[in-house]
Structure 1
Amino acid sequence: MSWDPYASLGVSRTATADEIRRAYRSLAKELHPDVRPNDKVAEDKFKRATAAFNLLSDPVTKQRFDRGEIDADGNERMAFNSRPRQQGARQHAGAGAGPGAGAGAGPGADAFDLGDIFSDLFGPGFGGAGRGGYGRMRGRDMRFTLEIDFLDSINGARRRISLAEGRTLDVAIPAGVETGQVLRLKNQGGPGVQGGPAGDALVELNVRPHAFFRREGQDVHMDLNISLTEAVEGAKIQAPTPGGPVTLTIPAGSNTGKTLRLKGKGVAGQGDQFVRLQVVLPENVDDDLKKFVKKWPKRDYTPTRPAG
């Protein structure tokens, strides 16, 4: 469960910008590590109060938090994908300022400068960092969900995603990724505070299912329809693979359920592709086929069926 930045500052959710600033000044004066050195509890409370102030002092991120679009750490609650309907998601994907963006980094007119606060508290020249460097903070990580096609997950791809503030990110999708895998884009998250490093963008992948391919480990499986003639006489046909069509040899006398292996045609060229044959009769059985079946030698061609 996410922590409450309002509680960390000791203010209500209806607190004004001035009340938020005063609350943080009071806590910083009490808890700053330069005031209470070697006090781990006070240091942790100070860091949490600073993160809360960074979130709530910027009107944009404060409103997004209040609406439930981001959590207290600035992580996105709403996912987006790279499909054409992405325009609607632009409203919710990563904001340019947040806990990591720091005072003055976002577009809000009422944003504050931590350097000014620390200079007021500890005197000119403090510079917002202090002897322990606690004004300089790493930006927040930003989390997203990206939907990708099955073939992109097998072969790898590059996709461009757009963020709410108009910034774009180019995402290199490695071959062989799976649903739930998270890609870390270093320094592509929220900007740092007082010259601190930017956070990272964490992109969780969601692989859309394919019309006929399915993945099992490093292998790819599919069912392939063949005609009665191809099954009886054998044939060479074009079979799809994630890397493109290949020629597949159908042995004479093949039956439904026979599985052929295409070596090295699985995930990222490491696994194999398994093709399960399905013998399919024509939709319209003509008189010639009916006559042929009637003349078929009267042998026991009845397939074995489970009892009951």
Structure 2
Amino acid sequence: MSVKFEDYYQVLGVQRDATAKEIQAAFRKLARKYHPDVNKEPEAEQNFKKINEAYEVLKDPEKREKYDQLGANWKSGQDFTAPPGWEGFNMHYDTGGGGQSFHFGGEGDFSDFFETLFGNQGRGFSNFSGQQRGSRGQSWSQKGQDRESELQITLEDAYFGTTKTVALQMSEEQPDGRLKNTRKEIQVKIPKGVKDGSKIRLKGQGGPGFNGGPSGDLYFKINIAPHPVYSLEGTDLKTNISLSPWEAILGGKVRVPTMEGSVQITIPVGTQNGQRFRLKGKGLAGKGDLYGVAQIKIPTNLSQEEIELVKKLDQFRKDTGKEQGGS
């Protein structure tokens, strides 16, 4: 029997070498666009059927491999006759793992092309929530879209942990099925020691589900704002230790600021500019460390007497063969 060829890759708008993730993303986007409970245009249901049929084939490695054996030279609408050996191919549907597709049940949901290749077995289909449906007219649910937003926090928030109140514009499904943007305040718990660039998940705070389906999740990507005293390197903190030339030369005790108050450390004799001093466990969440970096500051307001003393030191080192920079 001759039927019309269906280009499933074209239906979903993906390349033939598209990954499973790309295929799923394309399907979800189109499913939301043409879902009959959202799109009331006459052709929406037919388009919805087409993308479901395409996804049913391309999401399944076995069926996709079988379909790809037909070759890439076919075009949608061309007359097609199944080659020998295709009869009786057993099609099965995955209803576990939370479900990954949803369909209308009943006769006529798949094209003649589909049934020519795969047969008509397994007419009970799984929806996004994993519930089994098998007849037309039943309500189909779909999990809402996951969303992502950026949340800027202070270094103190990241170090000690806190709770933030965040106002967002959210889409909510109304009784008539339409989506309406509303302002919503949510509480976001910032765990102690959260890293810059990490994500916090708020279950069920994403896009609304369709027809009673669960809402998607909301992800906040953490952005730790620059700090006037510390710089952040992973879970480590870095701060500058300002030293005078004679403190660096003679050594001694200095205080270094930490997130929980200053502490005293010993500066060795002959400390060099840029030398690092590690304070273990003083970084984020007690996992990282704090590094104090010596910054030798040359005074600009020296008195004449101080200048003369520096000159004497310089001359002494020259006379004893200890040029500047030598031992």
Shorter-chain TM-score range:
0.5 to 0.7
Counterpart of 2:295, as a letter, is Q
Which position in structure 1 is the counterpart of 2:283? 266
Asked if the contact 1:155/1:242 (under 8 Å) is kept, the reply is no
- Alpha-carbon shift at residue 137 of structure 1 (Å): 1.9
Structure-1 residue corresponding to 2:306: 289
Are 1:150 and 2:155 an aligned pair?
yes
The answer on whether the counterparts of 1:150 and 1:208 sit within 8 Å (CA) in structure 2 is: yes
| Contact residue 224 and residue 276 of structure 1 kept, 8 A | yes
1:1-308 map, 5 Å: 3=26, 5=30, 9=34, 20-26=40-46, 32-36=103-107, 122=136, 128-129=138-139, 135-164=140-169, 165-296=182-313, 297-298=316-317, 299=320, 300-303=322-325
Backbone CA RMSD of aligned residues:
4.0
Is the 2:165–2:186 Cα contact (8 Å) retained in structure 1? yes
Amino acid paired to 1:138: K
- The residue type equivalent to 1:218 in the other structure is T
AA aligned opposite 1:214: S
Equivalent residues of 2:49, 2:110 under 8 A apart? no
Partners of 1:29 and 1:35 within 8 A in 2: no
Shift of 1:185: 0.5
Question: Tell me, which stretches of 5 or more residues in structure 1 are unaligned?
Answer: 11-16, 52-120, 130-134
Change (3 A) 1:196 1:272: same
CA contact (8 A) 1:185 1:200 kept: yes
Q: 1:269 to 1:303 in 2, by over 3 A?
A: same
**Range 288-297 or range 23-32, more displaced:** 23-32
1:224-271 CA-partner distances (Å, limit 9, x unpaired): 211234334434333122333222332344332332221211221112
* Separation of aligned partners in 2, 1:257 and 1:39: 71
Distance 1:19 1:261 in 2: 61
Structure 1 residue 39: Cα displacement: 6.3
Residues 227 and 37 of structure 1, relative CA distance in 2, 3 Å threshold: farther
Equivalent residues of 2:195, 2:234 under 8 A apart: no
Question: How many Å apart are 1:19 and its aligned residue?
Answer: 7.9
Deviations 1:83-108 (A, max 9, x none): xxxxxxxxxxxxxxxxxxxxxxxxxx
For 2:272 and 2:265, locate their aligned partners in 1 and report how far apart those are by CA, in whole Å. 15
Count how many residue pairs are aligned between Structure 1 and Structure 2: 215
Structure 1 pair 244/166, CA: closer, same or farther in 2 (3 Å)?
Answer: farther
CA change 1:223–1:29 in 2 (3 A) is closer
Identical aligned residues as a percent:
30
Q: Does the C-alpha gap of structure 1 residues 21 and 244 become closer, same or farther in structure 2, counting only changes over 3 Å?
A: farther
For the 8 Å contact 2:195–2:235, the answer to whether it is kept is no
| Deviation by residue 1:185-223 (Cα, 9 ceiling, x = unmatched) | 111112322222221111112233333423334322233
Q: CA deviation at 1:29?
A: 8.1
For 2:148, the aligned partner's letter is R
Deviations 1:5-63 (A, max 9, x none): 499649xxxxxx99843223455689743225996989xxxx9xx99xxxxxxxxxxxx
Alpha-carbon distance in 2 for matches of 1:249, 1:36: 83
The one-letter amino acid of 1:21's match is: E
Q: Which residue is equivalent to 1:86?
A: none
Distance 2:258 2:107 in 1: 65
Give the structure 2 partner of residue 113 of structure 1. none
Which of structures 1 and 2 has the bigger CA Rg?
Answer: 2
TM-score, scaled to structure 2:
0.54
* Partner in structure 1 of residue 70 of structure 2: none
**2:183 match: secondary structure:** coil
Scaled by the length of structure 1, the TM-score of the pair is: 0.57
SS of 1:158 mapped into structure 2? strand
